[in-house]
Amino acid sequence: MTNEQLEKLLSELSLEEKLGQLTQVEANFYLEHTGSDVTGPEANIGLAPDDLKLMGSVLNCVGADNCIQLQKAFMENHPHHIPLLIMQDVIHGYRTQYPVPLGLACSFNDDLTEACARMAAKEASLEGVHVTFGPMVDISRDARWGRCMESCGEDVTLTKRMGSAMVRGFVHDGGENTVASCVKHFCAYGAPEAGRDYNNVELSERTLRQTYLPGYKAALDAGARWIMPSFNSIGHLPMTANGYILKDILRDEWGFDGAIISDYNAYREIQWHGAAESMKDVAEITRHNGVDMEMMSATTFLHSKELLEEGRITMEEINTSVMRILQEKNRLGLFENPYRFADKTAAESYILSTSCRELAQQAAEESAVLLKNEGALLPFGKDMKKLALIGPFAAEKGIKGAWACAGRDEETVSVYEGIKTMLPDVEILVDAGCSYNLLNDTPIDVLTANAERAAALAKEADAVLLCIGEYQDYSGEGNSRCEIRLPLQQRILAEKVLKENPNAAVLLFGGRPQDITDIEPMARAILYMWQPGTMGGAAAARLVFGEVAPSGKLSMTFPRSVGQEPIYYAHQTTGRPVADPNIPGAPFPYTSRYLDMPTSPLYAFGYGLSYTTFEYSPVTLDTDTLTVDGTITASATVKNTGNVTAKESVQFYVRDLIGTVARPVKELKDFKKITLAPGEEIVVSFTITEEDLRYWGKDLTYGSDAGTFHAFIGPDSNTQNYAEFKLVK
């Protein structure tokens, strides 16, 4: 449709039809709706059956046939036959699952991430989805927060890169088999007080702008046409009602002209936050703050008429939002083809096809992080006779990850299946040893006896893989944890099993950094698989038996204890830094230290081992003086000094020594993933411009300062390999 046609359509709509466009409800309102009394779920949000004829969008309609049937019936009943927009959470795959985003970000591989999102978009669009609620680019610096699993981790640059790659993969220039993207949760949802989901966020505006906002902006620049305000309040103001951020920053400063959709029930929650007295007030506040569509509540639909009559909102405000929704529908071509790419036959042949599985497997392989490998215990040789596969995740199919859309456990390859398929002749002794439950209600003597039984198997095997960690349902929305250690029964199991066999390695699962400080000294090797998706077990088999070398690098810091949270590498020094962050309490008492623990993490951001070793040359600069219009190229030679071909994510950090405000000790600016054969070396270069050195300084001005900087090139955020340069103005 042309813009004039859309304007004409808008002018013909009744007020109720307009308000309907601004409302999104669950698809089961229709699919289960009987058409008689309001006894179905719609009753909960105050809608009558006739109101459902006017809605603008649905979420959670699964399956091409369902989407087509729902759309057809809906359009027939709608007075102007306006199609529904079908939205869905496609977080780490539609049916074929790749690793949870926090894991995928460890791949430090933009192309792979884009390809995964592209595959998910294809599966989803063939099943009838028009828009995905993704990517989630909430910076996560506190492992207690369960939703860090859906994020790209703690770092601004990594989040920008991975988030944009996901958007590109979903949107793919609006071509065939694509979906539109709704970036979320705007903003700073990943910084709730005490790591507890939905909790209030307190941030300075500098931190908000410096650290939390760039990821959303990058996703919008990459082509996301939708954005979702977060559940949390910032500085006591619920985000869905936060005019400063939604209007002044998002609309006016950034010029965003796409659509804003609330999170689930978030309109009503403004009242529950205690920031509005009635639903009618909520409808007024949100209208003034520029939110266009309301998810799973009907305050706009039910109260706008009265608000208009009382002069509290204007028809212009309503028209602006309706026009945005119509424009986004039009952009997707829904007026010409309301079913878009929904096609059951094509979906059946593409979904879970070999190409999807291969990609999911590669993603799982590149996401895995080798945390420890004493004496090169891994990879195991394939010539063994007997392998003991111990632990609750040994044969468990619930490793695909939470928030898995149409993904199914039964379609997931377990570790047992992965290894059995690869090595049919190896005898595999399997014992879960304990449950994966978070809370334990089994008596200790029973736990101990079970662990001893498993340990006896471990003793008689050539090698042991202890598969432990966090079950998929213990991270994700609403799943904050106060304690991020392995559950008690798993610690007992680890203690018994690991000492029985010198060839015992840990295969760790989970959706967040965990505190593994107590089992780490007992384990010679630890490979973190995250929640690896549909092909997790197959990827684990290839990694453990050396068909591919691990190349993942941590997207989020692993603490020594939950008490260190929030912990992240890009912190400031403070005026009283500890002299040696690895020594508890030492050496000078009045420093920013812990008495009982080092301040350093167990594993830093960007850390991850390989089956080979890489040597980094000192950093060289083509010039040590940067002018405002100039560039500096920083280079280092990276050499594979081991004897297997492997990938390495080469990381480039910058430190600004003096600013108008305190600056982080290091900030990731760029990274490159390279592949090196044994003995091979490559010069890896990064370019710096003045723009890369800008930050939100004193008085919230965005700019750079003349002065001294360090350019680091290394394998992780602990690197001290740097060269010094000056910015002159």
Residues belonging to the active site? 263
| 689 DSSP β-pair partners | 631
- As a whole number of angstroms, the distance between CA 38 and CA 34 comes to 9
CB of 578 to ligand BGC, least distance (A): 38
Interface with ligand BGC in residues 77-96 (CB under 6 A): 89
CB of 675 to ligand BGC, least distance (A): 35
Interface with ligand BGC in residues 463-482 (CB under 6 A): 477
Q: Which is nearer to ligand BGC, 263 or 705 (CB)?
A: 263
Q: Which is nearer to ligand BGC, 109 or 230 (CB)?
A: 230
Contact partners, residue 322, CB within 8 Å, separation at least 6: 10, 13, 18, 21, 22
Q: Which is nearer to ligand BGC, 299 or 450 (CB)?
A: 299
Q: Which is nearer to ligand BGC, 170 or 696 (CB)?
A: 170
Question: Binding marks (x or -) toward ligand BGC, 247..266, rule CB under 6 A?
Answer: ----------------xx--
CB of 354 to ligand BGC, least distance (A): 30
Q: Which is nearer to ligand BGC, 295 or 334 (CB)?
A: 295
CB of 263 to ligand BGC, least distance (A): 5
Question: Binding marks (x or -) toward ligand BGC, 324..343, rule CB under 6 A?
Answer: --------------------
Instruction: Tell me the CA distances in angstroms from 178 to 109, 121, 130, 342, one per residue in order.
Output: 21, 5, 8, 11
3-state secondary structure 126-178: HCCCCEECCCECCCCCCCCCHHHHHCCCCCHHHHHHHHHHHHHHHHHHHCCCC
Number of residues that bind ligand BGC (CB under 6 A): 7
Provide the 10 A C-beta neighbour count for residue 720: 8
Q: Counting contacts by CB under 6 A, is residue 198 touching ligand BGC?
A: no
Q: Which is nearer to ligand BGC, 89 or 515 (CB)?
A: 89
CB of 25 to ligand BGC, least distance (A): 12
The answer to whether 639 touches 680, Cβ cutoff 8 Å, is: yes
Interface with ligand BGC in residues 122-151 (CB under 6 A): 133
Helix axes 315-331, 279-288, angle to 10 degrees: 70
Q: Which of 544, 225, 247, 539 is nearest to 389 (CA)?
A: 544
The answer to whether 415 touches 364, Cβ cutoff 8 Å, is: no
Q: Which of 53, 118, 62 is nearest to 87 (CA)?
A: 62
CB of 245 to ligand BGC, least distance (A): 17
Question: Binding marks (x or -) toward ligand BGC, 662..701, rule CB under 6 A?
Answer: ----------------------------------------
Strand order in the sheet with 722-727: 625-626, 722-727, 707-714, 646-656, 667-676
CB of 567 to ligand BGC, least distance (A): 25
Task: For residue 145, report the phi and psi dihedrals to the nearest 5 degrees.
Answer: -75, 115
The answer to whether 230 touches 190, Cβ cutoff 8 Å, is: no
Residue nearest to ligand BGC (CB): 133
Q: Which of 625, 624, 670, 655 is nearest to 721 (CA)?
A: 655
| 614 DSSP β-pair partners | 640
- As a whole number of angstroms, the distance between CA 167 and CA 147 comes to 19
Question: Binding marks (x or -) toward ligand BGC, 53..82, rule CB under 6 A?
Answer: ------x-----------------------
Q: Which is nearer to ligand BGC, 89 or 716 (CB)?
A: 89
Question: Binding marks (x or -) toward ligand BGC, 161..190, rule CB under 6 A?
Answer: -----------------------x------
| Interacting residues with ligand BGC (CB under 6 A) | 59, 89, 133, 184, 263-264, 477
